[in-house]
């Protein structure tokens, strides 16, 4: 992990791109938000909040392992959200 600043940027960019993909899906299909797309956006925002809170945690014994775990959680959450986007009809 290069540093905390880059991890925060990664979280922001990845989840921002997922939200953008949801908006593109909305525009290309119904042209307006649906309950499913709103739920996905809310889930992405909640994931963002959770991960940023973990990054900002001060009392961590092994910072390197802590940040690697956050990176793994980001990847897992992103994969789950992308799978849910792909399942939208």
Say if residue 34 is exposed, middle or buried (CB neighbours under 10 Å; 0-12, 13-18, 19+). middle
Give 31's DSSP letter. Answer: S
pLDDT digits (tens), the chain, 89 positions: 458 899 999 999 999 999 999 999 999 988 888 899 999 999 999 999 999 999 998 888 998 899 999 999 999 999 999 999 999 87
Of 73, 57, 68, give the one whose Cα is nearest residue 1.
Answer: 68
CA 12 remoteness from chain centre: 7
The pTM of this model reads 0.89
């Amino acid at each position: 992990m290069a540093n905390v600043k880059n991890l925060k940027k990664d979280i922001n960019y990845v989840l921002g791109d997922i939200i953008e993909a949801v908006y593109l899906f909305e525009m290309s299909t119904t042209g307006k938000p649906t309950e499913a797309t709103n739920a996905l956006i809310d889930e992405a925002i909640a994931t963002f909040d959770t991960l940023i809170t973990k990054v900002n945690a001060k009392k961590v014994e092994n910072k390197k392992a802590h940040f690697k775990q956050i990176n793994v959680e980001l990847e897992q959450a992103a994969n789950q959200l992308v799978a849910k986007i792909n399942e939208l009809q």
